[in-house]
Chain A
Amino acid sequence: MTREVVVGTGTGLDTADMVLNIGPQHPSTHGVLRLKLVLDGERVISCEPIIGYMHRGAEKLFEVRDYRQIIVLANRHDWLSAFANELGVALAVERLMGIEVPERAVWLRTALAELNRVLNHLMFLGSYPLEIGAITPVFYAFRERETLQTIMEEVSGGRMHYMFNRVGGLKEEVPAGWTRRARAAIGEVRRRLPDLDNLIRRNEIFLARTVGVGVLTAEQAAAYGASGPVARASGLDFDLRRDEPYLAYGSLSVPVVTRQEGDCHARFECLLDQVFVSLDLAETCLERVDQISGPVNVRLPKVVKAPEGHTYAWTENPLGINGYYLVSRGEKTPWRMKLRTASYANVQALSTLLPGCLVPDLIAILGSMFFVVGDIDK
């Protein structure tokens, strides 16, 4: 007796594209970014970043907060660049009110902004290798972060949310001897930073994971409005500190770190070299601070009201261009304050960067875009 068994239908194998969600909770996304991928086997066919899981309505909250309260909120959207975020708000309001910031405050702000940039970059220099399997660099990065955070804490009282900017300058004068201690800390970080460099930059495994992976061309970067280290790694030579100087950058020579390759390794290298540049800039600024005496803020009226009008203040944040479009109707709260964040624009490029790559490369690319989800969702 024979029995017929049908083991397959049709000829060959039917394949179907798989839709895979990465996130919203995935360790490599630094928060809650969700990527909707269409996969053909191991290859990504299309990628759609779905954002908004961390939307906190910052822009709407700005409309019902006075300018000092806005600084509290503004330093939180990109929690790794709190000082730079505060700075943008302060610059916008100062411009509208026509306040001239004392010179000492300008140089102190520049020094602190550069230290903040180093802190931000060190975070990514530690976390990016971690994401693709190298656990060691993060300890070195955090050792340096700790040194600089101590300095920031001494001056502002905070380790991440500094709350040190005010409209018209800074909150208060720095403690006696702080500039000397800050310079010592910078020296220490500069001396130990080659450890991090030697550990990972030319590591063969790291190179194999990142070189030639996720190439973003300069045209694509420009088309998506990418900025900061991500765009500069693609050869888009644009840095507001040099091209449209604010604070004291006009009287400093700012070396802009660029790469031509546009791959993950170039983005990482841009970040690493930028740290050295920023340490030098911060040190120069601190030297100037020691030569300038005077107040660090101006006397403000009891109620700070920006006159009717609008302005757009953009700054080179650690992750790219951060802009605040401030519209005031002469009240003590803004009528509208639009946020242009670096991560939001940078992450858009993922939809062209990811198609065609393999799933294991996806993590390498995602991590190398250096974004903070709070900065995307606002």
Chain B
Amino acid sequence: MDGIPGKGLVKGLAVTAKTMAHRAHTRQYPDVEPDLPPRSRGVIALFEENCTVCMLCARECPDWCIYIDSHKEEVVVPGAARARQRNVLDRFAIDFSLCMYCGICIEACPFDALYWSPEFEYAEYDIRDLLHEKDRLREWMWTVPPPPAHDPMGEPAKEESTAARRAAR
């Protein structure tokens, strides 16, 4: 090739020497936590109080990894002519061994009962333990970060515009 033989190797070694003089790029993970953005798709949290058992999430899930059981309850509202029927959530479970982390359930939920959390340290020794029942999913709710502000050039977030509309009323 062109030039002095071994020039390419020397150039490579120069890069190595240069890198050696710099700080290492590595983050010592278990000791140093990674900085994850709020949108990071780590685990799905369930805000059980908001769930109305509409089953939209379970139906929209591409691999049907959401299990929901419920029963109907009669609620007697004082003053009302008849007793109302209400859905009560018995079981809500997400099988994270099947989940593809696409976020369609969260998008499909019309009542804001599902959220992404960046938490990711829930590996298990047994695959069956990846099935998170509703109390465990509720616990993840405490780790859900506030959503990031939208770019001022774009449209404001859905939460912002609804809040503004409510305030104007």
Knowing A153-B36, A153-B37, say if A179 contacts B151 (CB, 8 Å): yes
Q: Is A68 an interface residue (CB 8 A)?
A: yes
Binds A, one of B2-10, B74-82, B126-134: B2-10
Residues in B neighbouring A199, C-beta threshold 8 A: 11-12, 15-16
Q: Is A174 an interface residue (CB 8 A)?
A: yes
Contact: A157 with B40, CB < 8 Å?
A: yes
Name the interface residues of A56-114: CB closer than 8 Å to any CB of B: 65, 68-69, 71-73, 76, 104
Interface residue from B14, B39, B102 paired with A175 (Cβ < 8 Å): B39
CA distance A140 to B19 in the complex (A): 10
Residues in A neighbouring B5, C-beta threshold 8 A: 204
CA distance A292 to B155 in the complex (A): 11
Contact: A175 with B150, CB < 8 Å?
A: yes
Contact: A72 with B104, CB < 8 Å?
A: yes
Q: Nearest Cβ in chain A — how far from B132, in angstroms?
A: 19
Q: Nearest Cβ in chain B — how far from A314, in angstroms?
A: 24
Q: Is A25 an interface residue (CB 8 A)?
A: no
CA distance A163 to B99 in the complex (A): 14
Q: What residue of chain B has the Cβ atom nearest to residue A105's Cβ?
A: B154
Interface residue from A76, A136, A204, A205 paired with B16 (Cβ < 8 Å): A136
CA distance A158 to B16 in the complex (A): 31
Name the interface residues of A184-208: CB closer than 8 Å to any CB of B: 195, 198-207
Q: Is A17 an interface residue (CB 8 A)?
A: no
Interface residue from B37, B62, B154 paired with A293 (Cβ < 8 Å): B154
Q: Is A155 an interface residue (CB 8 A)?
A: yes
Q: Nearest Cβ in chain B — how far from A33, in angstroms?
A: 24
Name the interface residues of B90-114: CB closer than 8 Å to any CB of A: 100-104, 107
Q: Is A47 an interface residue (CB 8 A)?
A: no
CA distance A146 to B12 in the complex (A): 22
Contact: B151 with A143, CB < 8 Å?
A: no
Q: Is A7 an interface residue (CB 8 A)?
A: no
Q: Nearest Cβ in chain A — how far from B136, in angstroms?
A: 21
Residues in B neighbouring A146, C-beta threshold 8 A: 25
Contact: A161 with B155, CB < 8 Å?
A: no
Q: What residue of chain B has the Cβ atom nearest to residue A205's Cβ?
A: B9
Q: Is A154 an interface residue (CB 8 A)?
A: yes
Residues in A neighbouring B14, C-beta threshold 8 A: 198
Residues in B neighbouring A294, C-beta threshold 8 A: 153-155
Interface residue from B19, B36, B102 paired with A163 (Cβ < 8 Å): B102
What 0/1 readout, one digit per residue, does chain A (202-225) give for beta carbons within 8 Å of chain B? 111111000000000000000000
Interface residue from B8, B37, B103 paired with A207 (Cβ < 8 Å): B8
Contact: B8 with A202, CB < 8 Å?
A: yes
Knowing A153-B37, A157-B116, A195-B15, say if A69 contacts B152 (CB, 8 Å): no
Knowing A156-B39, A203-B8, say if A173 contacts B16 (CB, 8 Å): no
Interface residue from A161, A205, A295 paired with B154 (Cβ < 8 Å): A295
Residues in B neighbouring A198, C-beta threshold 8 A: 11-12, 14-15
Q: Is B60 an interface residue (CB 8 A)?
A: yes
Q: What residue of chain A has the Cβ atom nearest to residue B35's Cβ?
A: A150
Interface residue count for A (Cβ, 8 Å)?
48
Q: Nearest Cβ in chain A — how far from B95, in angstroms?
A: 16
Residues in A neighbouring B25, C-beta threshold 8 A: 143, 146
Contact: B6 with A204, CB < 8 Å?
A: yes
Q: Is A289 an interface residue (CB 8 A)?
A: yes
What 0/1 readout, one digit per residue, does chain B (143-164) give for beta carbons within 8 Å of chain A? 0000011111111110000000
Q: Nearest Cβ in chain A — how far from B38, in angstroms?
A: 8
Q: Is A290 an interface residue (CB 8 A)?
A: yes
Residues in A neighbouring B155, C-beta threshold 8 A: 173, 294-296
Q: Is B1 an interface residue (CB 8 A)?
A: yes
What 0/1 readout, one digit per residue, does chain B (12-39) give for beta carbons within 8 Å of chain A? 1011101100000100000000001101
Residues in A neighbouring B18, C-beta threshold 8 A: 195
CA distance A9 to B30 in the complex (A): 66
Q: Nearest Cβ in chain A — how far from B106, in angstroms?
A: 10
Q: Nearest Cβ in chain B — how far from A194, in angstroms?
A: 8
Q: Nearest Cβ in chain B — how far from A69, in angstroms?
A: 4
Contact: A173 with B150, CB < 8 Å?
A: yes
Q: Nearest Cβ in chain B — how far from A341, in angstroms?
A: 20
CA distance A161 to B116 in the complex (A): 15
Knowing A72-B62, A295-B155, say if A176 contacts B9 (CB, 8 Å): no
Contact: B154 with A155, CB < 8 Å?
A: no
Q: Nearest Cβ in chain A — how far from B9, in angstroms?
A: 6
Residues in B neighbouring A157, C-beta threshold 8 A: 37, 39-41, 103, 116
Contact: A178 with B151, CB < 8 Å?
A: yes
Knowing A161-B101, A161-B102, say if A289 contacts B1 (CB, 8 Å): no
Q: List 12 A-B pairs, Cβ < 8 Å.
A: A68-B104, A157-B116, A158-B41, A163-B103, A171-B107, A173-B156, A176-B152, A178-B151, A200-B12, A203-B8, A203-B11, A295-B155
Interface residues, chain B, CB within 8 Å of chain A?
A: 1, 5-9, 11-12, 14-16, 18-19, 25, 36-37, 39-41, 60, 62, 100-104, 107, 116, 148-157
